[in-house]
Structure 1
Amino acid sequence: MKTGLYFFSTLALTLALIFALNLFLPVTSDTYGAGREEISQTPHNLSVSGPGTVKATSESRVCVFCHTPHSRPGADYQTPLWNRQLSTAYYSVYTSTALQAGSLGQPDGASKLCLSCHDGTIALGKVNNLWGKGQTIQLGGTGPGGTMPSGSGETTGFTRKLGTNLSNDHPVSFVYDTSLANADGELRLPPTLYVKKRKPGETATLPLDTAGKLQCTTCHNPHLTGVDKFLRWPLTQTLDSASEGPNSILCLQCHNKTGWIGSAHQASLSADEQYKTGNYLGKTGAVWKHACLNCHDTHTVQGAKHLLKEGTDGVGTPKSGGQPAQEETCYMCHTNSTQSVVSVISNRPADIKREFGKTYHMPITASEQGVTGETHSALDANLTESTSNLGSNRHIECSDCHNPHRTGTQRHQHTAPHSNTVTANSPLAGIWGVEPTFTGPTAFPSVGNPTATIQYQQTTSITREYQTCIKCHSSYAYGETLPQLKNFTGGGSYGKNEITKSTDQAKEFNPNNASFHPVIRATGRSLALRNITSGNPFRAPFTQAGTQTMYCSDCHGAETPAGTSTPATGTPWGPHGSNQAFVLKGQWDISASPPNSSWLCFKCHDQTTYASTAGGNADVTGFRGSVRMRGVQNLHRFHRSRLGNNYKCVTCHSAVPHGWNGNPSNPLYGTPNYAKALLVERDDPQPYRTSQTKLLVDSWANSGSWSFSNCRTAMRGGTLRGQTWSRC
């Protein structure tokens, strides 16, 4: 009799589950890949015959851990004949300023069923109905209290004990519809060929529930064997150009990232580095094959933002908890060849972590920014941020300058004619920025008023490098209140060259200024207008003065070899870090002497012309006279010979050499040639003049027409504008 009861109860359970779970459906219509529905061969078989490390000590039935043929009335979730209590815990759900699904509610539907085991609040063996009564099945290999084991640690990304903090897990239980897809801009419009609601008589490869919600079961099939993590779709690409469908990974069946196809992290020609054997991420093969999952993990380390893999400042390998730290995700590859999880090929991937370890660097960590946690807050797929966040939360993250889904590999051409263009395949491609709009004429020699209010036009994809720099280093970010320079340990430039505050670079590079470096516009001051008729005082690629432009990164970045602004082979381009203050490529120190080839100015300006007493282009600068002084017309050389080791660029030129329009209180303000060549006088305002500034001008001369009488600094004694002067 007992045997008969057991037979019929087992038969009833089996038949109920077959119909409830549609197990008669062809496997090929419900999953893509090599998987098949055979729960007995999966870790979800918790019976004594299970293949996993967590299994019963004696219970032989496979389905009873989740299902019962006769669910009790009023059960938490009666379909599909659920045999477990649901947790009453409150969950901290995923949040993001870029999330278009609104404020997520608590998990529901099938996701709530999964969490009855995976949140770790209820013992795995605790069921509602076992021989007619609730019982706890004894299991081995569990965590404390019979709950889900924590793997590498509950706060790591290498555990399936998700806990009640789901902020580091892919959002679930939200409606995935056309409204959401349109609001996001980078989601596929449902229903797609693969992602759609499951209906009677129709299956979906990646099913939404009957309410159109994305649940755990959209990606996972708990009965599937022969695949990773019960996933309905592969986790690697088989064709790098595939953005959807059988040759692309699971993520891309919903996500359709603008600019992803052909980008540096996607294309097989650029993302061809191989994962090292035995790396702790458990990945094999080429980087491009892992696509999104090189950087993201749907169940990542606790504390990370944007589901970034290892994206915290936590300690250990793998990381355990911590505060958000985007750069740590990048450092998995962008570090030295020993620490990188991939094999380095021809200096790729670039060692960016080394650059941020230099004496002066962008304040990439939260501690350097003086905050707790990451303040970067992207609003949309273009990674844009509000101006209020840029001004009040001064910060820098990798994605402030690089869009990892759109970035390219092609550095700009560092040859004449040099321009400030950002191409579609640039490392800066696809990042947002701002274009300043200036009032008044900007063509040399007619200049307008650089003090007029600057308007800014936001662009979702920059075409000039300065557009991404100016969004942080101008009044666009901080209005008229200049922020103090950072003084963090081992990286800040506070106080260097007597400078304590940031300046407004949009105003400084304004082509309405009397003089400026040609970052935004060419100066128009050709060699002919400088009265230079032979030779060239500029180094390549800046040999076409007046008609060409330059990049911010021509001056800012890792130190370069003497006499060039081009980084050495193997050195990353861009202003990540330097051993020189202000992240400069060469020495720019008001106390430095004597002049030498490592000085910043001589990366572009020919040292022999400007700071040598012999050799080179003797008379080709605009600072010369018709009468020779001590045998030379080149007055840079004359001053070098007279001042010796006291000769400094900042003796006469601005200590902030972006651009300069002079001092409105100066009686010569606005006269012809005033404040040209970034010339700054002793009574001009800081930070443009410093304690090392010596210049005082009686009258401003045309290029090539300077004389002894123009310069009050040259006189012995005497007064001008209430100040007493002696020879510098």
Structure 2
Amino acid sequence: MKRILSIALFLMGAAGFAAAQITTPTTDVLGAHLNYGRGCAACHAPHSGAYGNGVAKTADTGSGNIALWGEDVGSLYGQTIITGKSEHGSYSETLPSSLTAGTPDVAGVLMCLSCHDGNLASGAMMQNKVYETLPATYGTANNIPTLLGSDKGTAGNYLNDHPVGLNATMGCGGPYDWDCTIDASGNVLMTGAASSRFVTNYGFFVSPGKYQNKPVVMCTTCHNQHLMNVVSVTQGTIDPVTKLVTAGKTGLPSGSYATMFFIRAPYNPASTTAGSNQTAQFCRQCHGGESNEMAGSTAGTTF
């Protein structure tokens, strides 16, 4: 009887993970960044940078020199924006003065804002509406804005957005943080008792930038601009005794998982599973103080 029960529980768990996975996405993974059919060339101009993308005059004299970037970012150079507030206060980010600045906020923030700012950089073809079909639980707010500096509120207000930039550092050991450590190169090591358990239960998929040997939050920390609706997961090695991941960044079974909004981890608010907490788990990768593990709960991840 015990053997039958164990097999039944295993099959139920396997079925749950299978339901969370997408083996064959039915739409192009580039999603909204197909830009009405223009595809990769909407952001990356194979010739002549922003000029090659139809910009007649640009203040960005280095346009296209990095990543063949085809959007005019000249109006953003050296601008200071005050990004979102947190328990630590608000954050000041002075954008790089060129695409060759060499800091992580070039590709991690500046390039993103060339399309997603709407205030200082308003020339890109953004419609300021969400591309994806939203779950019914989102209510009637179907036009979720996609611009940081012009989001139907006060023009130039960035405080209602998540902090990003070279001053938006990630920490360990504080009242709001994980029991993790940061090594000399700025890597976040989820090796504490609670943080390592979280990696087994969900994972650590975020990609912080590194500045002055500290991990910093970029737009690309949470978002993978090339994959809108799916994320490929590779399970790490799980210790047979402790059941913790000893190599790799997740204990989830390998496979393709549903995501939304270009989030770089399993994230599916459209899940119909009662008690699904995967979207909360994504945020807890950095906000460890609000996690099950740090609060002493044994809850894992429910898809």
For normalisation by structure 1, the TM-score amounts to: 0.22
For normalisation by structure 2, the TM-score amounts to: 0.47
Return the index of the structure with the highest Cα Rg: 1
With CA pairs under 8 Å and 6+ residues apart, which has the higher RCO, 1 or 2? 2
